[in-house]
Amino acid sequence: MLQDLLGHVYRPLGRTSWLPGVILTSAAIVLAWGYFLYQRVRDPLGGINSLWPLFGIANQLLAAIALCVATTIFIKMHRARYMWITCIPLAWLVTVTFTAAYQKLFSADPRIGFLAQADGLAAAFQAGQVGAGRAAETQTLIFNARLDAAVCGLFLLLVTTILIDSVRIWVGILRGTREARITDTPFVLSRLRPEEL
């Protein structure tokens, strides 16, 4: 997805057959997740308390993206009568996951909301309620809670963008104002000969 996005900025990056582009975008994603995991290792609580809610939200949002793609395929293949099969679970997933993500971001309960947890820890730190030996640990917890909030917000923004664009495409095709064509990469026969297998 990153390669496809950056292909609009620099065209060769959009070609999945261009090895430098594949390596560059793959490395960028791996390094980003590596940094995120490194922050979790440094988490004084062991990382699972902050990583698990994000994993759950990310997993369900990925399912929502997959349902958007499946619905688009149904519509582009002139099978709009079957789109209810993907739209009902999509509506449920978006409702439940966006509600949970909103609560993880903005709940006033520090046991639930990332921002409330960060603000509570920061207030305790500013008030001098944190011992000198736990200052670094508290700063790490504050940073991790804010990082979780930023990543959760980014996930919501990206999935919202995909959802809005998908609905725009669906409506255009169903109204007849947009062509229903599928643009898959053409099939290329493997260069391996059977005796090489």
| Residue ranges of domains in the chain | 1-42, 46-181
Q: Which helix (H) or strand (E) holds 28?
A: helix 19-42
CA Rg value for the chain: 22
pLDDT 10s digits, 22-73: 899 899 989 987 877 776 676 666 666 667 778 888 899 999 999 999 999 9
Look up residue 175 and give its amino acid.
R
Mutual angle of helices 135-175 and 84-106, in 10-degree steps: 150
1 burial type by CB count under 10 A (0-12 exposed, 13-18 middle, 19+ buried): exposed
What is the band of 11 on the pLDDT scale with cuts at 50, 70, 90?
confident
pLDDT band of 188, cuts 50, 70, 90: low
pTM of the model: 0.73
pLDDT for position 153? 95
pLDDT in tens, 111-139: 899 999 999 999 998 888 888 788 888 88
167 conformational bin, left if phi > 0, alpha if psi -120 to 50, beta if neither: alpha
pLDDT for res 180: 79
